[in-house]
Amino acid sequence: MGEGPTVVLVHGITSSSRTWKAVMPRLAERHDVIAPDLLGHGRSAKPRGDYSLGGYASGIRDLMALLGVDSATVVGHSLGGGVAMQFAYQFPERLERLVLVDSGGLGNEVSPVLRAASLPGSEFVIPLLFSPPVRWSGAQLRGLLARFGLRGSADVAGMLEGMDSLGNRDARRAFVHTVRSVIDPRGQRVDARDRLYLSKEVPVLLLWGGRDRIIPAAHGREAQRLMPGSRLEILPDGGHFPYNDDPEWFVEQIERFVGSTEPARIDQRQVGERLREGAGG
């Protein structure tokens, strides 16, 4: 959607491109916006395949190549943040800027629900938790609140959207594979913090909800400390889906960031230099 500098929006686990519906049209007023459904999510295929961060990053690269897009600002939310960082690591020459929104991969803590989903046997429990009656009850609850003039928070809406997606058997299988690739019962097991110094030449923006109960804002503060020159903006009352809590705030942050920074131009030689520096020479 739209024309201008390219922005790729990468959603989180159980979500899809529709999670960006409140912000994509506004971003498209000044940008060429690409918002895919990751493999195993939304309307994309759900095969027995590679649901690792590297696999997802390669899928983003392939989509950009197919669309004739050489490079872009990549925006990743939650799991999508981990995908975006992996994309930056694997394909630095295709990255102009990096935006991490309540991102995974920056610390151990994560919601107990996601930790539980990584447990052995969860694939047999999830069908019961996300059966049609349970999903119908969640939708009815949201409708009932709306009739009384009460709207569920952006987190509730995001969770219900994810709950609805897991009514499909293939989607549940993809969900379990994805969770286990990045989370175990103790928390997040993929941690990018030891490679954040590689972002030195990349403009980086960190956006976080101050009341995120899934991935705490402390992860964003730590990431800012470890990423030279990065910016951190916190929406004080925002949750895990700050772009739905305050779409105007989110779009304003992205547009200001893109408009005030020059796109990175990195090649493999520069990456090699940074890795040697990080290894002590």
Q: List the catalytic residues.
A: 78, 212, 240
The candidate with the shortest Cα–Cα distance to 59, out of 100, 94, 21, is 94
CA distance linking residue 131 with residue 229, whole number of Å:
46
Cβ-contact 206, 222 below 8 angstroms:
no
What are the C-alpha distances in Å from 267 to residues 1, 29, 64, 249?
Answer: 29, 31, 18, 33
Residue type, 130: F
CA distance linking residue 131 with residue 242, whole number of Å:
28
User: Please, what sign has the CA dihedral across residues 276, 81, 165, 210?
Assistant: positive
279 Cα distance to chain centroid: 29
Cβ-contact 208, 101 below 8 angstroms:
yes
For residue 176, give every residue at least 6 positions away whose Cβ sits within 8 Å of its Cβ, in sequence order, or none.
117, 122, 123, 126
CA distance linking residue 98 with residue 7, whole number of Å:
10
Cβ-contact 74, 214 below 8 angstroms:
no
